[in-house]
Amino acid sequence: MYRPRRYLMCPPEHFRVTYSINPWMDLTKPVDVRLAMAQWSDLRDCYRSLGHSVDELTPHPDLPDLVFTANGGLQLEDRVLGARFAHPERYGEATVHEEWHREQGRTEFQRAQHTNEGEGDFAVTADWLLAGHGFRSSPLAPQEAQEYFGRPVIALDLVDPRFYHLDTALCVLDDGPDGEEGRTRGTVMYYPGAFSPGSRAVLRRLFPDALVAAESDALALGMNAVSDGHHVVLPQAAVGLLDPLRERGFEPVPIDLSELLKAGGSVKCCTGELR
Q: How far is CA 248 from CA 173, 174, 211, in A?
A: 10, 11, 9
Q: Is 14 a catalytic residue?
A: no
The SS3 of residue 213 is coil
Q: Is 269 a catalytic residue?
A: yes
Question: Strands, E, within 11-57: which ranges?
Answer: 53-56
| DSSP secondary structure letter of residue 203 | H
Q: How far is CA 18 from CA 5, 21, 85, 91, in A?
A: 33, 10, 17, 15
Q: CA-CA distance, 60 to 1, in Å (whole number)?
A: 36
Rounded to the nearest 5°, which phi and psi values hold at 5? -120, 165
Catalytic: which of 10, 171, 269, 270?
269
| Neighbouring C-beta atoms of residue 227, cutoff 10 Å | 26
Residue 178 CA to its chain's centroid (Å): 23
- The sign of the dihedral angle between the CA atoms of 45, 50, 56, 62 is negative
Catalytic: which of 52, 97, 133, 165?
165
Rounded to the nearest 5°, which phi and psi values hold at 60? -125, 130
Positions annotated as catalytic residues are: 165, 269
